């Protein structure tokens, strides 16, 4: 088995070096230094791979420190403020670590079930042992994770917690949880031949649990007693013991050969096939059904329209199932939140009265991020549907790219997107007012400013995705995302919305800033679309 593992490493080294040399040969100034014969220099590639592995290991050590700082420590520091007690900061750090790494990192995906070109080449093409291949790939990943997490957790535990020994205990416990996660995935495959890591609902559930547990708990008046839970002797011994048992079970599992043969197929590891599958998956949520094409025009409103108004009216009529479903989900969440608030009024009236009196000032920055998640996501979904089911065909005609046509379609579509987003915003405003009245708090001017800001945010996040779509048009004829500025600007807006969580400005100032940004952004978007979309809105 040791010999097979060494051979797997050699194959992996050769493939990685060949890929690295391929990209070096793409660089104009130095590609002459790498003729085709370097691909045959196996000894040199082994030495190069050893250097690369050392560099990757150093990067992994640094990456763990960066991850713990950015994802576990920084959010708690920003949200709780600089005057937070060290004990509270340590508990918040442990909570984020538990949900992100112990739950999300351990149970989201499986290294054993993940298809890779190395596994395909070694097991299916070269006939090597599947057990040795997995030991050299998945086992090595787990070992590297343990080694690189150890110094990072020791340092953070020494700086924030009771001492370096706490970091070492956390590293062992994290390794145990990762073994339990691998056991869960392999057991599900062995029982039903299903991969949880490929199920949308499973991924969504684990992701929401991890992110919600890590960051939503910061809103609690007191942090979760995570130190008392993780370092409880019974909990620690049970988790590490279960992890050890899971590791033994994985080592003795007898069906790895069949597992690799069934999970690691050519279509799963081919780069071209992977890109095509990813492209199809990205647009799967906007694919139409036969019943959508037979959607009835209630009242004949669409038939009475003409020109591009008729074209867009027919589009939104046929896509109402796809586009109205997220709105219904959002309205359902708002209704559930209102019911929870009314329930709080019944069981804790005094607490709810004080909370709703401070609601506009305290929660308006949070609603910037919430409106981004709801409205911007809906706008991007509509843009994908428009491209996949309409524009990808019509953009091949010159008349569809004329300036007047583009602006006409842009304004019609903006109205459709804004109408849906404003419906959600209006429901939030009505719900906030209803809970405020039920709690006995006054309907103050701050609440009116809160509602104005929420409605302005709905308009802003209606303009933003359409503006990016018309100016950058990121989708290609092969359904790939090509324009990098599209992703960069989306990330910038996301970061700004996330940073708004730290804003401590009065409601009036914050609302004025939101309204001013919405008006200015909308005016700039219309002007840029009028002047530039004729050149940018095209098939790539």
Residues 265 and 312 in one domain: no
Q: Nearest CA to 476 among 394, 393, 382, 540?
A: 540
pLDDT band with cut points at 50, 70 and 90 for residue 227: very high
455 is written with which tokens? 């409605």
Closest to 428 measured CA to CA, from 373, 349, 380: 373
Q: Is pLDDT at 79 greater than 90 in this prediction? A: no
Which is more confident, 492 or 177?
177
Contact 375, 457 (CB under 8 A): yes
Mean pLDDT of 54-82: 86
Total domain count, the chain: 2
Residue 72 and residue 169 in one domain: yes
Question: 252 lies in a domain?
Answer: yes
| pLDDT reading at 33 higher than 80 | no
Residue 84 inside a domain? The answer is yes
Co-location of 230 and 337 in the same domain: no
Residues 92 and 138 in one domain: yes
> 178 lies in which domain range?
2-269
How much is the pLDDT for 116? 78
- Boundary residue ending a domain (269, 294, 314): 269
* Pair of tokens at residue 371: 């409106």
3-state secondary structure 95-110: HHHHHHHHHHHHHCCC
Residues 22 and 74 in one domain: yes
Q: Both 242 and 372 in a single domain? A: no
Distance CA 437, CA 357 (A): 10
In this prediction, residue 165 carries a pLDDT of 94
Q: Which of 248, 269, 290 is the last residue of a domain?
A: 269
Is residue 310 domain-shared with residue 261, that is, in the same domain? no
- Mean pLDDT score, 323-351: 86
Tell me whether residue 298 is in a domain.
Answer: no
Residues 465 and 393 grouped into a single domain: yes
Token digits for 61?
């050590």
317 and 207 co-located in one domain: no
Q: Is residue 278 part of a domain?
A: no
Tokens standing for 177?
Answer: 């949880």
Q: Are residues 326 and 386 in the same domain?
A: yes
Asked if residue 282 belongs to a domain, the reply is no
- Considering the domain architecture, whether residues 341 and 214 belong to the same structural domain is answered as no
- For 106-158, what is each residue's pLDDT tens digit? 999 998 988 877 777 878 877 778 887 888 788 888 888 999 999 999 999 99
Residue 271: half-sphere exposure toward Cβ, Cα within 13 Å: 1
Domain end point (choices 241, 269, 297) = 269
Residue 322 lies in a domain: yes
Q: How far apart are CA 413 and CA 407, in angstroms?
A: 10
Q: How far apart are CA 48 and CA 160, in angstroms?
A: 39
- Whether residue 478 sits in one domain with residue 377: yes
- Judge whether residue 1 has pLDDT over 70: no
In this prediction, residue 178 carries a pLDDT of: 95
**Residue 472 covered by a domain:** yes
Q: What is the per-residue pLDDT across 406-458, written as a single tens digit (0 to 9) for each?
A: 888 889 989 989 999 999 999 999 999 998 888 888 888 888 888 999 999 99
The contacts of residue 240 (CB under 8 Å, 6+ apart) are: 172, 173, 176
């Amino acid at each position: 088995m040791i010999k097979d593992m060494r051979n797997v490493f050699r194959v992996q080294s050769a493939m990685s070096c060949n890929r690295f040399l391929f990209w070096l040969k793409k660089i104009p100034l130095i590609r002459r230094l790498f003729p085709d014969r370097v691909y045959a220099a196996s000894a040199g590639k082994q030495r190069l791979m050893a250097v690369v592995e050392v560099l990757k290991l150093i990067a992994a050590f640094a990456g763990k420190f960066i991850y713990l700082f950015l994802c576990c420590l920084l959010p708690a520091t920003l949200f709780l403020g600089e005057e937070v007690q060290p004990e509270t900061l340590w508990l918040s750090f442990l909570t984020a670590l538990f949900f992100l790494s112990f739950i999300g990192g351990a149970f989201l995906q499986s290294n054993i079930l993940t298809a890779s070109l190395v596994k395909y080449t070694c097991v299916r093409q070269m006939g090597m042992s599947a057990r040795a291949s997995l030991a050299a790939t998945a086992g090595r990943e787990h070992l590297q994770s343990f080694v690189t997490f150890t110094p990072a957790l020791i340092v953070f535990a020494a700086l924030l917690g009771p001492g370096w020994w706490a970091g070492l205990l956390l590293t062992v416990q994290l390794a145990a949880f990762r073994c339990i996660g691998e056991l869960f995935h392999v057991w599900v495959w062995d029982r039903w031949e299903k991969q949880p890591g490929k199920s949308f609902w499973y991924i969504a559930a684990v992701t929401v649990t991890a992110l919600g547990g890590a960051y939503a708990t910061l809103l609690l008046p007191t942090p979760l007693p995570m130190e008392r839970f993780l370092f409880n002797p019974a909990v620690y011994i049970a988790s590490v013991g279960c992890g050890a048992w899971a590791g033994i079970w994985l080592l003795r599992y007898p069906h790895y050969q069949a597992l690799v043969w069934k999970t690691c197929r050519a279509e799963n590891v081919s780069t071209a096939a992977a890109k095509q599958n990813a492209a199809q998956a990205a647009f799967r949520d906007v694919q139409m059904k036969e019943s959508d094409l037979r959607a009835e025009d209630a009242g004949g409103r669409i038939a009475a329209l003409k020109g591009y108004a008729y074209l867009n009216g027919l589009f939104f009529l046929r896509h109402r199932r796809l586009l109205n479903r997220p709105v219904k989900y959002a309205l359902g969440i708002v209704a559930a939140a209102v019911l929870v608030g009314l329930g709080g009024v019944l069981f804790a009236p005094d607490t709810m009265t004080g909370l709703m009196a401070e609601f506009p000032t305290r929660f308006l920055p949070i609603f910037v991020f919430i409106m981004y998640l709801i409205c911007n996501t809906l706008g991007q979904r509509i843009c994908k549907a428009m491209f996949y089911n309409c524009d990808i065909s019509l953009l091949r005609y010159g008349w569809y790219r004329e300036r007047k046509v583009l602006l006409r379609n842009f304004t019609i579509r903006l109205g459709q997107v804004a109408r849906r987003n404003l419906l959600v915003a209006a429901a939030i405003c009505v719900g906030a007012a209803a809970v405020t009245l039920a709690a006995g708090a006054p309907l103050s001017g701050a609440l009116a400013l809160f509602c104005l800001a929420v409605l302005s945010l709905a308009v802003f996040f209606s303009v933003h995705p359409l503006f990016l779509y018309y100016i950058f048009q990121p989708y290609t004829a092969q359904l790939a995302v090509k324009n990098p500025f599209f992703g960069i600007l989306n990330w910038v807006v996301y970061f700004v919305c996330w940073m708004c969580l730290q804003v401590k400005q009065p409601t009036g100032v914050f609302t004025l800033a939101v309204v001013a940004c919405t008006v200015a952004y909308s005016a700039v978007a219309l002007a840029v679309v009028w002047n530039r979309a004729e050149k940018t809105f095209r098939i790539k």
